[in-house]
Copies of this chain bind each other. A is one copy, B any other.
Amino acid sequence: MPTISDVARAAGVSMSTVSYVLSGRRPISAETSARVRAAIAELGYHPHAGARALASSRTSVLALVVPLRADVNVPVIMQFVTAVVTAARRYHHDVLLLTKDEGTAGLERVAGATMVDALIVMDVEGDDVRIPALGRLKQPSVLIGLPDDPAGIACVDLDFAATARECLAHLAGHGHHRVALVGPSPSVYERGTTYAQRFLDGFTDASAELGLETVAHSCEPGADGVRDCLAWIDSELPGTTALVVHNEDALVPLLDELRARGRSVPGDLSIVAVCPRDVATSLPVKLTSADIPAHDVGTLAVETAMALLEGRKAPGTRLLPPTIIERDSCGPLS
């Protein structure tokens, strides 16, 4: 493996010149630069990451902490991950993957060892024990999600309250007055992640603002859960004409059940789902949906981390506005 001094010798310049050609941190004559680049190419030189990290105390690596709970939606996580990796590469960074189950220790390990320049943490809970730990690190971090108290750490997420509002507004625009929310499974509410509650709060507020009659109920997984939830809705708000579904796993059994009952979508019942684009379009009825912009959130998280590293931008919270995509599951009131 050639070193920087091999390159320097081959190009007939000093080590520092080679270094500056690579970093661009000081002007180099076009001619010198060309000679150096030629030598680099010819020798197949790659700067040694460890040496570079030691000398500069920057690693060009980002830590990404992912949940591996089965209870969260795996394809969505994967979308975050690929968005983060892809965006990181645009900034010449690589991604070190940590799992949430290592908890605080994992963060302290990679940060303490100076393995990473910044950390991006997914699946943040309302009262997440990792937040104080992150605050103690010398590296900046970005949360994907919104805890009760970010404690000065940057946050990025979809604006779930506004999303609920848009869903209701969309249905109201179609003339619906009685709308039910099919929520996530109870375990999601119990667990600390706040997005379910934020969505529910937005739903409740918007319902009042828009003068709608609404109910909301969590929905256990599986066909039975869906049936129970529908039964609950029927008894609590008879004459419901539209559903907002904030529960991906419920979608397939829900459509099955409605078909079995002979209720057509959107003829008898309109539906707005909150889910990634691809699941909305892969079902028998193409669902009007509020997108989960995993790609945008992941990208923004990386951009925020980079801004923090460069000292621009104070940490704060960025909630992305929702996007409703009209498809075939929303009709006028019949």
Query: Which of B51, B99, B108, B109 is in CB contact (< 8 Å) with A85?
Result: B99
Q: Which of A51-107 contact B (CB under 8 A)?
A: 51-54, 59, 61, 64, 68, 70, 74-75, 77-78, 81-82, 85-86, 89, 94-99, 102
A49 at interface (Cβ–Cβ under 8 A)? yes
Chain B residues with CB under 8 A of A82: 68, 99
Copies in the complex: 2
Chain B residues with CB under 8 A of A110: 94
A44 at interface (Cβ–Cβ under 8 A)? yes
CA distance A234 to B95 in the complex (A): 50
- Asked if residues B94 and A96 are in contact (CB atoms below 8 Å), the reply is yes
CA distance A75 to B89 in the complex (A): 24
- Asked if residues A109 and B50 are in contact (CB atoms below 8 Å), the reply is no
Sort chain A's interface into a size bin.
35 or more
Q: If A74-B75, A85-B97, A99-B86 touch, does A50 touch B46 (CB 8 Å cutoff)? A: no
Binds B, one of A10-18, A112-120, A122-130, A191-199: A112-120
Chain B residues with CB under 8 A of A78: 68, 74, 77-78
What residues of chain A have their CB less than 8 Å away from a CB belonging to chain B? 1, 44, 46-54, 59, 61, 64, 68, 70, 74-75, 77-78, 81-82, 85-86, 89, 94-99, 102, 108-110, 112-115, 138, 223, 252, 278, 284
Could you list 29 examples of A-B contacts with CB < 8 Å? A1-B114, A46-B114, A48-B54, A48-B114, A49-B50, A49-B113, A49-B114, A49-B115, A50-B52, A50-B53, A50-B54, A50-B59, A50-B114, A54-B54, A61-B96, A68-B82, A74-B75, A74-B78, A75-B75, A78-B78, A85-B97, A86-B99, A89-B102, A94-B96, A94-B97, A94-B98, A94-B110, A96-B97, A97-B97
> 3 closest Cβ contacts across the A-B interface?
A50-B53, A46-B112, A49-B113
